[in-house]
Amino acid sequence: MKIFDAARLRAFLSSDDYLPAKVVVATLLLWEAVVRIGGVQEYVLPAPSVIAVKLVVDRELLLSSLMVTLSITLESLLLAVVCGVALALAIAHSKMLERAIMPFAVTLQVTPIVAIAPLLLVYLAPSHAVLVCAFLVAFFPILSNTALGLASTDHALLDLFDLYRAPAWKKLVYLKLPAALPQFLAGLRIAGGLALIGAVVAELAAGAAGQGTGLAFRIVEAGFRLDIPRMFAALALISLTGLAIHAALALATDALLSRWHESARRRGE
């Protein structure tokens, strides 16, 4: 058996198997080639190989920053889930409460978090301010999606529960919560990405005040030192964190819905 088979390699490259991975690899190779052949300076645009080396050399510093950013993101997401679902349940219970709360929720949602962050830093300790920032952006998609899911419970099924005189908590546990699950998960997927954005934005704002050791602060700090490869290395870790959160939530959605929900169904099955 030949180790290198040109015909098989060509067949592999021209097929659309693993297409996304191939595109990523091709882009990285092109980037590497442009930098090397064009003689681009490292402080202008570092090659992927240089960034990779930086990731290894600075691993202790970058990993500790990654843990800071990641824990803020996950804590804020958890807080957003607890508060978002609780408030959605309260809203589903009372139209009056919905009308009272929605103006605040919508105002917070439409006000850019970058503009709120400096104020939060005035009132809160930097670590708390970062958490609250990430929470504020992650909270609304979970609230609105879960509230929508709870409100769109099949009325005939609600009638059926009434027919058998089911108490309110059974309606909630057996009917409304499972019915709202697809919308809740859609909100969670949006919130997962937004929590990371919120954490990074808040770190940038807090970093200017001389605090924080998250990845966003590393980018600012490396920028001051003109350590461009480290800026890229920190940026790569932020992107990978976002991708990991996205993938984890997509997998969770698929595991929970694949058997019964249309969104997880392949056409023609």
Residues that bind another protein (CB under 8 A): 154, 156-157, 159-166, 170, 174-175, 178-179, 181, 259-262, 265
CB of 1 to another protein, least distance (A): 45
Residues 6+ apart with CB under 8 A from 182: 149, 257, 261, 263
Q: Return the number of the residue (60 or 159) whose C-beta is nearest another protein.
A: 159
In the bound state with another protein, the residue whose beta carbon lies nearer, of 2 and 95, is 95
Q: Report, in Å, the least distance between residue 55 CB and another protein.
A: 43
Residue whose CB is less far from another protein, 40 or 181: 181
Question: Smaller CB distance to another protein: residue 147 or 179?
Answer: 179
Q: How far is the CB of 177 from another protein (least distance, A)?
A: 10
49 vs 258, which CB is nearer to another protein?
A: 258
**Other CB atoms within 10 Å distance of the CB of residue 96:** 9
**Residue 120: partners with Cβ closer than 8 Å, 6 or more residues away:** 129, 132, 133, 202
Shortest distance in whole angstroms from residue 178 CB to another protein: 5
Q: Spell out the residues 6+ positions from residue 170 whose beta carbon is closer than 8 angstroms to its own.
A: 161
AA letter at 174: Y
* Smallest gap from residue 172 Cβ to another protein (A): 13
Rounded distance between C-alpha atoms, residue 204 and residue 215, angstroms:
9
For residues 66 and 72, what is the distance between their CA atoms, to the nearest angstrom? 10
